[in-house]
Structure formats: C-alpha cells, structure tokens
Amino acid sequence: MEKKETVLVTGGSGFIACYCMITLLNNGYKVRATLRSLKKAELVKQMLKEGGIKTFEDLSFAEADLQNEASWEKAVEGCQYVIHTASPTPHTEAKTEDDFVIPARNGVLFVLRAAKKEGVKRVVLTSAFGAVSYGTLKDTPYTEEDWTVLNDTVFPYQRSKTISEKAAWEFIRTEGDGMELSVVNPTTVMGPVLSSDYAHSIQIIKQMLNGEMKGCPKLVTGYVDVRDVADLHFRALTMPEANGQRLIAVSGEALSMLDVAKILRKNLGHIAGKTPAKELPNWMIRILAVFNPKIKMIVPHLGLVKRASNEKAKTVLNWNPGSAEEAIVAAAKSLIKFNQI
C-alpha cells in the first residue's frame, strides 16, 4: 500500500485550519497540526469530530509558536507539505501594529525556512483578501493582480497579511530553491462553526442575531463558505497548476451588511427577530466608534464596495464554491446549535 504523505497544518485550532484538516484526512493524508499549546489538542479533536472525522490515527500534534523559530524545524520533520494558516487575527490579544505584523511576517519566514530545510514540496499560505483590496478604490472586482496599498487607512491586521504574503513570495523568489508556493486569499469567511470557540468573521452574524447590532454599517464585500475555502486550499496543495498562484476565495456576488441581515431574516424567521432592518449613516458609525473598538475597525471601510473575482480559482483549479447565502445561513444555524445566540 502507498505510504501516506504528511501535511503540516499550522494554527491547528483555527476555523480554516480545522476544515483543511478535515479535507486532508478525508482524502487519505496524514496531518500534523501545530498548536501554541498542546492543551488545545482535545478541543481540536472535538471540532474535527463535529466535522465528521471518526478516527484520529492519521492525526498528530506539535507545539509551535510564531515567535519561536526553532519550534518550526521540529514541527515540520517528516512532512512533505505545509498549509500555513497561523497568523494573529483581530480576535487575538494583539493590540499594536507590531503585535500583528511582526509575528505574521516572522512566522511566515520561520515556516518557509523550516519547510525548505526539510525538503517540503509545496507550501500553501493562507493570506487574506485584506492583502488584495485595501488602501485603494476600484469600481471593478478585485483580482489576484491587485495588492493592498499600505497607507494610513489600512488597519494592522490587513497590513500584517499584506506584509507577510509579500515576504513569502520574496522568500520563494530569492531563497526557495525550487520549493513551491500557492497562496489563498479568502474574503469574509462564513459556514458552520465546529465549537463555541470560533472565527472573528462569524461575530457579525452573532451580533446581528442577538440584537447587539442595531443597524447595518454601509459596507459591501465578498463572502465565502469555510468548506469551500478548505477545498481551495486542497486544490492549491495538490494541483500542479496552482504552483506560484494567488487565489481569491469568494463565493460570488458581493453583499452589503443589510443583504446579510435580510438573508438571516428570510431563512431563520422569528430567530432573526432582532436582526437589524436598516442601514446606519456613516456619521453615526463614526460617533459609535469612539466608544466601541469593534466598530472602530469598520470606519476606514465605510461606504466602500469591495467586490472580488473568483474567475481564476474556477478556471485554473476547477473550483466550484456554493452560494454566500448558504454559507451565512450555515454559520447562523451552527451558532444556534452551540447556544451562542
């Protein structure tokens, strides 16, 4: 029987990482997941079980930290591939720009150096639409040719994603020695959560359903199902055509926040009774932002329309994502299941 290849998945307790691991295990790969603390291993197993994984014989764990280079060399031993999802998110304790940028950039370089030393064939980096579309205005959909322009309107999280992705491409160009790289740039990630510990992107749905969000900010952006994001990572890892490519993960048409609220009301009936039914003027959001850090993050994006094209992923890798509506409803239903609403 053919020996199973091993994929290192970094940031193993993350939303995208868990679904990547589910996809890999279902496709006959061995997975080694990195965690900052192995105390989280049982939670990860619970989440994978929730996602349909029955046996853990092909799963192992390694402790590794974005601030500690030596930990990555040990983690990647015996692995043929790497999916690097680990990065500080708006959900973490990161406060200053350096708290985001330094671990994100260093983490990418530590992982790439360790992977190269181990003879890894290909690395798939989870970047973000935040590395594509910020600091600029565009009427047409953003594509993989676009890059965030690092000006004063770009928040630390998007800045960290841009800087770390550029560092990855530069490493491959100057020091890669034939190691392959593909990058996935997801838009706003929705889909079913696997536990009560879930991604920052799902907070929008929670705030709408529990009545915390009284009105919708004027924002238009793309959405994508986490299961489709994992599928795109798998294609980026296994298909020859993906080498050297950036790939935007977006389901289709961009939605306003009000569109999202309408989808919840249409599909969830009385459960979505507290969901906002109107848009708030930009000036009101700016005033609220003075008192609420969550709202402050939105201010630079007010009134912006961030459409994204998925043409490349569909054409080059035959990727076929589901609808944004399905992803949003699945996220909401899973929050209800885990008593988060």
Catalytic residue among 30, 161, 262, 306: 161
Give the CA count within 13 Å in the CB-facing half-sphere of 13: 21
Q: Are strands 255-256 and 223-225 parallel, antiparallel or unpaired?
A: unpaired
Alpha helices in 223-323 (DSSP H): 226-238, 257-268, 282-291, 293-296, 311-317
Instruction: Give the containing element (helix H, strand E) for 42.
Output: helix 41-50
SS3 249: strand
Specify burial of residue 271 (Cβ count, 10 A radius: 0-12, 13-18, 19+): middle
Helices 156-175 and 97-118, axial angle in degrees (round to 10): 30
DSSP labels for 48-105? HHHTT----TTEEEEE--TT-HHHHHHHTTT-SEEEE-----TTSS--SHHHHHHHHH
Is 161 an active-site residue? yes
Contact of 179 with 172, CB cutoff 8 Å: yes
SS3 307: coil
User: Where in the sequence numbering do the catalytic residues fall?
Assistant: 161
